[in-house]
Amino acid sequence: MEAVALKEREQQIFVKGEAPFDIVCNKDSLAGAVSQRACVFCGSRVVLYPIADAVHLVHGPIGCAVYTWDIRGALSSGPELHRLSFSTDLQEKDVIFGGEKKLAAALRELIERHSPKAAFVYSTCIVGIIGDDLEAVCRQVAIEYGIPVIPVKSEGFKGNKRAGYQAACDALFRLIGTGDTTGISNYSLNILGDFNLAGEIWMIRDYYQRMGIEVVANITGDGRVADIQRAHGAALNVVQCSGSTMQLANMMEEKYGIPSIRVSYFGIEDMAEALYDIARFFKDPEMMERTKKIVEEEVKQLAVALEPYRQALAGKKAAIYVGGSFKAFSLVKAFRLIDMQVVMVGSQTGTKEDYIELAAITDPGTIIVDDSNPLELTTFLKEKEVDVFVGGVKERPIAYKLGIGFCDHNHERKEALAGFEGMLNFAREVYSSVMSPVWQFVPRKKSAPSTR
């Protein structure tokens, strides 16, 4: 591997096969390295944003609200209130004299105009500096209007998205336990960490319904305040994005005794195993038989549809850089299913245990990186002669500038990639990107790929 990392970053990059596994992670981003991570506020916002019948008010400069406006491709089956992205638009005068009165006035106006089921108020960096008492303002407005008004303590600017996830979990935990759990089935669960990108949670709920399981709450894709308030009545928490909501599952287990399991909905192997794990948890033979039938039907259809893409993409190279490392596991398996080679994989928030698992399932020579930056990613992609790069909105320009195909796997995407149907969508998208005739005009390509 070419030496591109700053000295302080060298221990956060590992090449499988060059030395015994050792990687440093779970640390603050290096100042000046322009990390691909986001701020604390952004981390909390992306988790809570899909709760569709709540007001989301950003207490801070207008730029913070603009930065996270419609930040997820999270669809709603009903209300669209979450997409409006309100802000108190703090100005210099507010910084000097405080913004509490402005916040209270904004909350009262929004609640009277939109009649939300709850309100989330996000503190941004400037609020942490001037010391506005969000807790007191939210408490007063909640008493006046009789709805939950919840402060989301997400100030801070150290590239620490994980702290934002914790802030979101703390806010959600204030809601949970305040609703009536009467009538909830013994075969019930909460979906944690799926944000209904392109309607994916509807596909997952359909699988559970066919298995005979009641979904109590979506946390948070297509989420509703009333469902979250009664989520403590479910028998199981199923955690898909463990980086963002595993802490909430742990908090619920400690207080309400609800066990949790980690799953992935991406790729055939992981989707099937998720359904089997849940059926095994409930220990119902009839449910297990229904689950086997679902998997058999879905895989049979999918295997035939995937074959043309597998033949065309065999031997092509892929690189992965995502927010949560749990996504990376599934993506490595998904690329293997269509005979593509993963030559680089990394994440913004992975743990050492996550990277050990990635090292175990990748091929020798694969670059594994934690909390990377544009310079490093650019060098890795060029060095490995990658054909397609999977990432998010901040990685897209890197791929396009290098003349590399790109697949959006982050929260801005509009294509459903979860579930069995999502695997076919993923293969189709990768094929369209890698095999596009446009690459014949890119200097790094010696010849145009086949367009079959």
Position 158 pLDDT exceeds 60? no
Name the burial class of residue 82, with classes exposed (0-12), middle (13-18) and buried (19+) by CB atoms within 10 angstroms of its CB. Answer: buried
- The DSSP secondary-structure symbol of 387 reads S
Per-residue model confidence (pLDDT) at position 4: 57
pLDDT in tens, 197-254: 999 999 999 999 999 999 999 999 999 999 999 999 999 999 997 778 999 999 999 9
Mean pLDDT, the chain, integer: 90
Cβ-proximal residues to 367 (8 Å cutoff; 6+ apart), any chain: 1, 13, 14, 15, 343, 344, 345, 346, 380, 384
Q: In this structure, what token pair is assigned to residue 198? A: 């392109």
pLDDT in tens, 188-201: 999 999 999 999 99
Short-list 98, 148, 96, 157, CA closest to 125: 157
> What element of type H or E holds 342?
strand 341-347
Where b means 16+ CB within 10 Å and e means fewer, 425-451 reads: ebbebbbebbbeeebeeeeeeeeebee
Separation between Cα atoms, residue 80 and residue 73, nearest integer Å: 12
Please say whether the beta carbons of 89 and 62 come within 8 A. Answer: yes
Cβ-proximal residues to 222 (8 Å cutoff; 6+ apart), any chain: 50, 52, 74, 75, 76, 77, 196, 201, 202
3-state class (DSSP) for residue 223: strand
Please say whether the beta carbons of 389 and 381 come within 8 A. Answer: yes
pTM, 2 dp: 0.88
pLDDT in tens, 312-341: 999 999 999 987 777 899 899 999 999 999
Q: In this structure, what token pair is assigned to residue 413? A: 């995407």
Separation between Cα atoms, residue 434 and residue 106, nearest integer Å: 48
Please say whether the beta carbons of 43 and 123 come within 8 A. Answer: no
- The helices-and-strands tally (H runs, E runs) of the chain is 17, 14
- Complete domains list, the chain, with CATH: 7-24+306-441 (3.40.50.1980), 40-175 (3.40.50.1980), 188-292 (3.40.50.1980)
